[in-house]
Amino acid sequence: MHSFQWDALYALAVPKAKRLAVAAAAAPGSGRDLYAGLTAEERAALDELLNAGFARKALEDWTFEVSAALALSGALAQFDPGYEDDFWSKPGYEGAAPPPYLAAAKVDDFATITGVQRDSKDVVTAVTFDPTSVPKLGSIGAEGLQFYVYAADGVTRVTNGDARTLSGKLAGNTLTLEGDNDPVLLRALSKGAKVRINNRFVLAACFYPRHSILDNGSPAYDQYRNPDGTPKYVQRDLQTAYIANISSSGGRRQTGNIKVRTIVLENLFDPASYPYVGGFYADEVRAAMGPRATDDMFRLYYQDNAPHGAFPAITPGPEAAKQATMTASVGGLLHQALLDMAAWVERGVAPLPSTRYSRDAMNQIVLPDSAAARGGLQPVVDLTANGVARAEVAVNQPVTLSARIVMPPHAGRVVRYAWYLGTPDLEFEPSLSLAKPKRTIRVKRTVRFAEPGDYAITLRVEGQRDGRNDVNGTTFLQNVGRVRVVVR
């Protein structure tokens, strides 16, 4: 729940044009300052997101939306229904004295119903309002709008248990209802009744993590504490994030006291599952079980440059092709981890040691540069253009692309690689297979560019545990290296 709300707060506090500039700066070889052009307030919002654990690399390719705050927030609305009103009225909450970006986004006013449309079954399908009573949208448009039903007095609100708002889409002065709407709310829609058109809840939800510091010791919340450990912000009595996450946590709180052998995969280009959480859980396992039992029961593997999920979740097309030039698919790595898990459980063959990593002061996971120090399952790719991450050259000037590719100890051998040279078609060149797969290889080529431009170059590398390059193989271990060539 909180991760979606952190994303939403960043979208709310930093205008889209500036978020796009941050995304461009996050790309390898951009040569740009991540914070360039941001106000102090916007810098603080970006810092809050990163300190919460959002993967810095994922800034490059993620669409932030304020409406993201609604994801999993049903538990907040259901179990802490007073939060919304408290946020907008009580001292200590941002809504009581809103900063300019929050005030600019807020929509909250009563629209008077002038007509009700029904279908052949006499079910309300739409309502029209007096145009002069419909509130103007704010800086985030219609994101997160809710529609509270009131009697004609504008005071008596109509609810029915958990049903507190209508579901629909506002266009002009017409609200077209969508999805399942509660019959009690529908019956209250009549000429002269009022609908409170507002985005109070979604805006309040953006700030909820500040007011609900989790009690599990997560470092993401240290930014909300004073030096003496006390909260900077007023706190809610109930931590509803646990309720929202309970279904994905096996119906219980995570304590680290695992009962079965467990392998955790975390990806460092993942915008949806903050990477530090894997390491935080590993700490919980070690604290609960001790180092020896942990080594016998638990592994954590970090995958550099990999997005959310084992395989691309984007429909094939230009967007998927673009992401393929930026990230590594870890589907093959997942398959290998499953085979390793089966060998561990069924035959007692221990898998490779966990990835070595550190967590920096902003809760970003940092991996060692060398494959030997890093370990894990992925090949490590060190790619340069003329010896650097960003080369600036003239038209048709030669550029030397050099890469050193190393598999971690006992992880396998490099079997093939492919180049993407920044072309508009987003296509990789055909893969080049190694006649003799090796644990360490060096690749070098010279390229020239006939037109000025900004060329983002990717080297996609695949290893395999046994050095096999089968056409139908399912256990390729992938990573990418990326550099930029600017042609003037």
What tens digit of pLDDT does each residue of 104-145 get?
A: 999 999 999 999 999 999 999 999 999 999 999 999 999 999
| Cα 379 to the center of its chain, rounded Å | 24
Q: What is the DSSP string of 307-347?
A: -SSSS--SPTTHHHHHHHTT----HHHHHHHHHHHHHHHHH
Q: Which residues of the chain have pLDDT under 50?
A: none
User: d(Cα 117, Cα 131) in Å, to the nearest integer?
Assistant: 16
Q: How many angstroms separate the CA atoms of 35 and 68, rounded?
A: 23
Q: Give burial (CB, 10 Å; 0-12/13-18/19+) of 229.
A: exposed
The angle that helices 2-13 and 40-51 make with each other, rounded to 10 degrees, is: 160
Contact 127, 117 (CB under 8 A): yes
Phi-psi region of 315 (alpha: psi -120 to 50; beta: other; left: phi over 0): beta
Residue 185: C-alpha distances to residues 156, 198, 324 (Å): 12, 17, 47
Domain boundaries, the chain: 2-89+206-245, 107-198, 262-487
The distance of Cα 335 from the centroid of its chain, to the nearest Å, equals: 23
Phi and psi dihedrals of 469, rounded to 5? Answer: -120, 55
Alpha-carbon torsion (14, 19, 25, 26), positive or negative: positive
At residue 197's C-alpha, the angle toward residues 195 and 203, to 5°, is: 145
Decide: 134 and 108 in contact? Cβ < 8 Å.
no
CA gap 117, 92 in Å, rounded: 43
pLDDT for 248 = 67
Strands 390-393 and 477-487: parallel
Kindly state the tokens that stand for 16. 């889209």
DSSP-based three-state secondary structure for 198:
strand
Q: What angle do CA 66, 72, 75 make, to 5 degrees?
A: 120
Thinking of the domain 262-487, which architecture would CATH place it in? Sandwich (2.60)
What does the block give as tokens for 434? 């190694």
- The 10s digit of each residue's pLDDT in 238-269 is 999 888 777 667 777 788 999 999 999 999 99
DSSP state of 258: -
Selection from 237, 245, 240, 209 nearest residue 225 by Cα: 209
Antiparallel, parallel or unpaired: β 298-303 and 168-171: unpaired
